[in-house]
């Protein structure tokens, strides 16, 4: 099983409880998998929305050499981007950045 397949399956399992429409859920999972392919590690996904989950926040760290391609994927190629934050991981690891990406959150795609 490839790393992308295991990540995709795990994300589908975790987010299935959010009552997302199937196509919307698949779109959010595909975006998270793409961010993983661009170097975002480890990928943690948190549902967003109270009382109805209608988006996700994807958190992870990325090496400086992969940051530009990841941001291009997030900001230009992902249609559901609601926000992104990038912060240097710290003095001990100046070549690593913490990245948080918010997808969705518009309320129209939850069942």
pLDDT by residue (tens digit) across 21-36? 888 888 888 898 899 9
49, with CB counted inside 10 A (0-12, 13-18, 19+), is middle
Confidence (pLDDT) at 5: 63
Band of pLDDT at residue 14, cut at 50, 70 and 90: confident
Return the pLDDT at 3.
Answer: 58
Q: Are 80 and 31 in contact (CB under 8 A)?
A: yes
The pTM (predicted TM-score) of the whole model is: 0.81
Residue 20 structure tokens: 């997302």
Q: What is the pLDDT of residue 111?
A: 39
Q: How distant, in Å, are the alpha carbons of 40, 66, 85, 98, 101 from that of 93?
A: 15, 15, 18, 11, 21
Alpha-carbon span 16 to 84, nearest angstrom: 23
Domain residues of the chain, as ranges? 3-104
Residue 10 CB neighbour total at 10 angstroms: 14
- Angstrom CA distances, 47 to 57, 85, 98, stand at 6, 17, 19
Of 19, 20, 15, the C-alpha closest to 33 is 15
* Per-residue pLDDT reduced to its tens digit, 40-82: 998 888 888 877 778 889 999 999 999 999 999 999 999 889 9
What pLDDT, on the 0 to 100 scale, is given for residue 4? 62
């Amino acid at each position: 099983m490839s790393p992308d397949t295991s990540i995709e399956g795990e994300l589908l399992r975790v987010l299935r409880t959010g009552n997302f429409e199937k196509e919307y859920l698949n779109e959010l999972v595909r975006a998270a998998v793409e961010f993983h392919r661009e170097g975002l590690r480890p990928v943690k996904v948190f549902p967003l929305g109270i009382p109805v989950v209608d988006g996700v926040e994807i958190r992870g760290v990325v090496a400086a050499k992969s940051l530009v391609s990841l941001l291009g994927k997030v900001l230009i190629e992902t249609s559901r981007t609601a926000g992104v934050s990038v912060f240097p991981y710290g003095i001990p690891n100046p070549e690593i950045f913490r990245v948080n990406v918010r997808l969705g959150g518009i309320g129209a795609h939850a069942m």
